[in-house]
Amino acid sequence: MRLQFNYKEENEHLFSWVKDHKITSYYVEKFNNVFYIDHELFDLNLKNKRIFFEVRTTKLKRLYRVVLCLLTLQMKVYRKRNVAVTFNAWSQNYFHWFTEVLPRVYEISKCKSEVLFVFPFPLNSQYQIPSLLASGVKFQSFNKRALFAGNLIFSQCTRKDTGHFSKGQFDYIKKYFEIPDINPSRNIYLKRSNVKRCVYNDGEVEMLLKLNGFEIIETDNMTLYDQINIFSQAKCLVSMHGAGLTNMIFMQRNQLIIEFGKEMEQFDKCYFNMCNLLGLRYFHLSCLAVNSDVSFSEVDLIVDLSELKKLLKSALS
């Protein structure tokens, strides 16, 4: 695994836990007569079959949840049809949808048998429904807590932690979406607004980036295909850590990613790992936290404009 392009020895602590990153893989399994409740899979004997992360409960608690869901009509039942589970606790998030749900859909859809993909939550029309339609699979959503399936197909990753990716995990992108084969020419700053984890001095950052030929983009109200069109043309994408960086999956190889992260703290490895898998050049800019006691997932950052200016000069040259 290659490190960031602007790697410095004093930043060793930021990368120490991802240097030994191991490529993971997905596997597909089939189960008969199983319950799937609160991201736990178990059979009629209440024996645990598969879990998402470290969700572990007792047999008594499983029995209680089964009875409760049946009594409150919160159990969706599929007795004969082949159904597939690809969702997890975070599937409503843009990042987790494209990096964990759709790769599972792709792996299961390669099976010969006809499968119905099920989701126990409303699917949004911005990117979930369009991406499933693009995949060509049959799917159904329902607003219930649990499901029982006579024939269930389940896909899981060999690692239990998120943000690790397998070779070929994003192969579905080319199959499901028509990515324009063009010469990237757009420099994009992905603006985060009205959310936690923002750039505190965003106005100054925007001004500096505009002077260097960057467009300011907000994706909140964009359709999926609008985003594909924009980011497939990007030669440099600058953003604070956040789900919008997932759009790098639509970029051409060898283009640039600049991510803002909290100074003096091991950063979330997911976008660094994605860049390595996608063949993108990754740059990291350590930023001062507005409140040093807040974790990287919630903290607002102050971008050092002089450091950003030097990084842009180095990265874009």
Q: Same domain for 250 and 205?
A: yes
- When pLDDT is cut at 50, 70 and 90, the band that residue 180 belongs to is confident
Q: Same domain for 308 and 243?
A: yes
Helices (H), 139-279: 172-176, 202-211, 224-231, 270-278
Instruction: Provide the strand spans (E) within the chain.
Output: 26-37, 40-43, 48-51, 75-85, 116-119, 138-141, 146-157, 186-190, 214-217, 234-240, 256-262, 281-289, 301-302
Whether 161 shows a pLDDT value over 80: the answer reads no
Identify the domain boundary among 93, 122, 157: 157
Q: What is the mean pLDDT of the chain?
A: 85
**Segment 28-39 mean pLDDT:** 90
Q: Same domain for 14 and 61?
A: no
What is the domain extent for residue 240?
9-21+178-316
Q: Same domain for 145 and 221?
A: no
Q: Same domain for 144 and 15?
A: no
Token digits of residue 69: 């869901």
SS3 content of the chain, % helix, strand, coil (to 5): 30, 25, 45
Question: What is the 8-class DSSP label of residue 199?
Answer: B
Token digits of residue 284: 């990291």
Does residue 164 sit within a domain? no
CB 261 within 8 A of CB 242: no
Does residue 298 sit within a domain? yes
Identify the domain boundary among 123, 157, 191: 157
Q: Same domain for 184 and 54?
A: no
> What are phi and psi for residue 197, nearest 5 degrees?
65, 75
Strands laid side by side in the 26-37 sheet: 48-51, 40-43, 26-37, 146-157, 75-85, 116-119, 138-141
Q: Same domain for 107 and 73?
A: yes
Output the pTM of the full model: 0.87
Does residue 294 sit within a domain? yes
Token digits of residue 59: 């047999």
Which CATH number is 264's domain given? Answer: 3.40.50
pLDDT tens digits, 196-222: 778 999 999 999 999 999 999 999 889
**Segment 146-174 mean pLDDT:** 78
pLDDT (0 to 100) of residue 263:
72
Whether 228 shows a pLDDT value over 90: the answer reads yes
Q: Same domain for 13 and 31?
A: no
pLDDT (0 to 100) of residue 55:
57
pLDDT tens digits, 96-133: 999 989 988 998 988 767 899 999 999 999 999 999 99
Q: Same domain for 91 and 144?
A: yes
Between CA 148 and CA 76 the distance in angstroms is 6
User: Lowest-confidence range among 82-91, 110-119, 286-295?
Assistant: 286-295
pLDDT (0 to 100) of residue 307:
94
pLDDT (0 to 100) of residue 175:
84
Does residue 38 sit within a domain? yes
Q: Which of 274, 186, 193 is nearest to 230 (CA)?
A: 186
The fraction of the chain above a pLDDT of 90, given in percent, is 50
Q: Same domain for 105 and 229?
A: no
Q: Same domain for 150 and 222?
A: no
Identify the domain boundary among 104, 128, 157: 157
Between CA 153 and CA 112 the distance in angstroms is 12
**Segment 65-73 mean pLDDT:** 95
Does residue 4 sit within a domain? no
How many other β-carbons are positioned within 10 Å of the β-carbon of residue 59? 12
Q: Per the structure, how many domains does the chain have?
A: 2
Q: Same domain for 65 and 147?
A: yes
Does residue 1 sit within a domain? no
Does residue 63 sit within a domain? yes
CA trace torsion 307, 308, 309, 310 (10° rounding): 50
Identify the residue whose tokens are 């390595």: 276
Q: For residue 110, what are the CA distances in angstroms to 38, 115, 136, 168?
A: 27, 10, 12, 14
- When pLDDT is cut at 50, 70 and 90, the band that residue 139 belongs to is very high
Does residue 165 sit within a domain? no
